[in-house]
Amino acid sequence: GEDVEQSLFLSVREGDSSVINCTYTDSSSTYLYWYKQEPGAGLQLLTYIFSNMDMKQDQRLTVLLNKKDKHLSLRIADTQTGDSAIYFCAGLTGRRALTFGSGTRLQVQP
Amino acid sequence: EAGVTQFPSHSVIEKGQTVTLRCDPISGHDNLYWYRRVMGKEIKFLLHFVKESKQDESGMPNNRFLAERTGGTYSTLKVQPAELEDSGVYFCASSHLGQENTEAFFGQGTRLTVV
């Protein structure tokens, strides 16, 4: 299977919360990241969490890490149409390169 | 400050032809990475330069791919000869050399289509 897995698609209504999930296999990942890609743009770092933390909050974003289950999630509160994008989770491995998931396309309905 | 820039943004070539992608990292960034996303799948690591040296090229698919970073500034990724399965979006990223969790800044990617 893939090293990092994500569901492909999520649709929510504007104002609702979005939760994007990710599972990974490499327990040696020291940092875990969430990137956002808008159409025609590069990857933008949204937030990250160190592997010894279990939660990090940054304004509308909340990252939860369950290291035992190797599960990472990104919650976006009060989702806006501008949040529509592809979201990638990624882990930093010992070789200092990122291992990405396949991305979750978030569609926000007005 | 200019971000990571990649050129071209799109390229359509025929199977068997050669294509060269270019990446200009953020000035002063010694780390430079190439990644590729094929057909909506995961983004995969290709290789990592530290200045002009190849630190890790374990992700390069085969010897049709050649990456260079002469002088430790911009980098090129040449595909010769291109095959259909090389189609995808090629991303470049750069970061400062130093602490482990140094943020990597990504370019907008080059969409390569081999027909």
DSSP string, B23-83: EE--TT--EEEEEEE-TTS-EEEEEEEETTEEEE-TT--STTEEEE-GGGS-EEEEESS--
Pairing of strands B31-37, B88-95: antiparallel
* Beta carbons of B30 and B86 less than 8 angstroms apart: no
pLDDT at B97: 84
pLDDT tens readout for residues B28-65? 999 999 999 998 788 999 999 999 999 999 999 999 99
d(CA A77, CA A75): 6
Residue B93, number of CB atoms within 10 A of its CB: 25
Is the CB of A42 less than 8 angstroms away from the CB of B3?
yes
Smallest CA–CA distance from A42 into chain B, residue: B108
Q: Which of B3, B33, B108 comes nearest A97 by C-beta?
A: B33
- Give me the amino acid identity at A35: Y
Q: Residue B9's pLDDT band (boundaries 50, 70, 90)?
A: very high
Helix, strand or coil for residue A106? strand
Tokens encoding B12 = 């359509």
Interchain contact, A43 vs B42, CB within 8 Å:
no
Predicted pLDDT of residue A56: 95
CB < 8 Å from A in window 61-90 of B: none
Give me the residue from A3, A41, A97 closest to B48, CB to CB.
A97
CA-based nearest residue in chain B for residue A101: B42
pLDDT of residue B102: 77
Residue B82 tokens read as 């291109």
Contacts of A92 in chain B (CB under 8 A): 100-101
Q: What is the pLDDT of residues A63-109, one digit of tens each?
A: 999 999 999 999 999 999 999 999 999 998 766 789 999 999 999 99
Mean pLDDT of A4-23: 95
Question: pLDDT at position B20, please?
Answer: 98
Provide, as residue numbers in chain A, all residues whose Cβ is less than 8 Å from the Cβ of B33: 97-98
- Least Cα separation, residue B84 to chain A (angstroms): 20
The structure tokens listed for B81 are 């000869």
Contacts of B57 in chain A (CB under 8 A): none
B1 in A contact zone (CB under 8 Å): no
Maximal CA-CA distance, chain A: 42
Asked if A38 contacts A46 with a C-beta cutoff of 8 angstroms, the reply is no
Share of chain B above pLDDT 70, in %: 97
